[in-house]
Amino acid sequence: MGKPRRYGCGMEHSKRIAVIGLGVMGGPIARHLARAGHALTLYNRTTERVARWRAAHPDLTVAEATNPAEASAGAEVVITCVGNDDDLADVVLGPQGVFSTLAENGLFIDHTTVSARIARQIAVEARDKHIHCVDAPMTGSQIGAENGTLTLMCGGRKDALEAARPVMSAYARRIVHIGKAGTGQAAKMCNQICIAGAIAGVAEALRLAQAGHLDVGKVYEAISGGAAQSWQMDNRWKTMSEDSFDFGFAVDWMRKDLGLALEEGRGLGVSLPVTGLVDQFYAEVQALGAGRQDTSALVRRLPRKGHA
């Protein structure tokens, strides 16, 4: 493909970047990087997703690869945002993986939410190949990805994080170095535990208000300015009251993340009873056929009084 168009955003610092995984988070990240003037190569297992990305951004010129190794060949930076541990291992460590072609002193940034174990394994492989490596799971939801306001919790060496920071600043508002490899993933588990507990509380409060025939808008006005306030309440109270869930972070992905947290807890000998309970609640939501709906669909397991 031809050279990417220039947008006057520090082009002296532009890099050759491969973005692997163009889902609800990876797609917007690629857009921000392209608009910042970086030269992008895109790869996604389903080529239709790349085609949709191109159609949505006709003003942006990018290259397309047929596998991760091809995407990484010649890249200075590789960014992955895929599904789970197995997906990441295949994309990075497989025969046609990123590490088969990424050059020495290259930079690898992973935004997938995975286990701390696979993050540490990849970091060891990266060290042996003299590749800078950062595990940087995200929070901020699809909205944050679209607006370029994500928070990244990062694990890896300090020099790797500092090399990654200028790139990640194109789509993140807050970048926090947690510690060594794998600690970014452990911090993300803490994040998901907090989210799950908050959603469960908001769901029960909403159903109680509805059962009491309260004006739910007034209830929100009253309680959202005090200690009960949360992102979940501010962003999901209204949509939950309207039974609107066709957006946001899917229940299926939350169950995957809570499973990682529960596994980590078992390994560390830490009891996570609330997390385990909410995970069971989400299993009920999946059984309702709502696995692809937003995590706020948790309220669906609590029928409205007088409704089936």
Same fold: 11-181 with 187-301:
no
What does the pLDDT look like over 121-144, one tens digit per residue?
A: 999 999 999 999 999 999 998 899
Contacts of 209 (CB under 8 A, 6+ apart): 216, 219
Question: Do 99 and 92 contact (CB within 8 A), yes or no?
Answer: yes
Q: How far apart are CA 124 and CA 133, in angstroms?
A: 9
Which pLDDT belongs to residue 10? 39
Which pLDDT belongs to residue 60? 97
Question: Do 128 and 98 contact (CB within 8 A), yes or no?
Answer: no
Contacts of 234 (CB under 8 A, 6+ apart): 224
Residue 133: which of 99, 89, 86, 95 has the closest Cα? 99
Largest Cα separation within the chain, whole Å, is 64
SS3 at position 307? coil
Contacts of 122 (CB under 8 A, 6+ apart): 88, 89, 92, 93, 108, 110, 133, 135, 181
Which pLDDT belongs to residue 13? 78
SS3 at position 128? helix
Question: Do 178 and 185 contact (CB within 8 A), yes or no?
Answer: no
Q: How far apart are CA 177 and CA 162, in angstroms?
A: 9
Q: Catalytic: 15?
A: no
Question: Do 153 and 172 contact (CB within 8 A), yes or no?
Answer: no
CATH of domain 187-301: 1.10.1040.10
Cα first-last separation, the chain: 56
Which pLDDT belongs to residue 71? 98
Domain boundaries, the chain: 11-181, 187-301
Contacts of 161 (CB under 8 A, 6+ apart): 134, 154, 175, 177
Q: Which helix H or strand E contains 67, and what residues bound it?
A: none
Which listed residue (180, 188, 256, 305) is catalytic? 188
Residue ranges for the chain with pLDDT beneath 50: 1-12, 306-308
Distances (CA, A) of 51 to 30, 47, 196, 258: 13, 6, 34, 32
Q: Which two tokens stand for residue 240?
A: 């939950």
At which residue do the structure tokens 């159903």 appear? 207
Fold of 11-181: Rossmann fold (3.40.50)
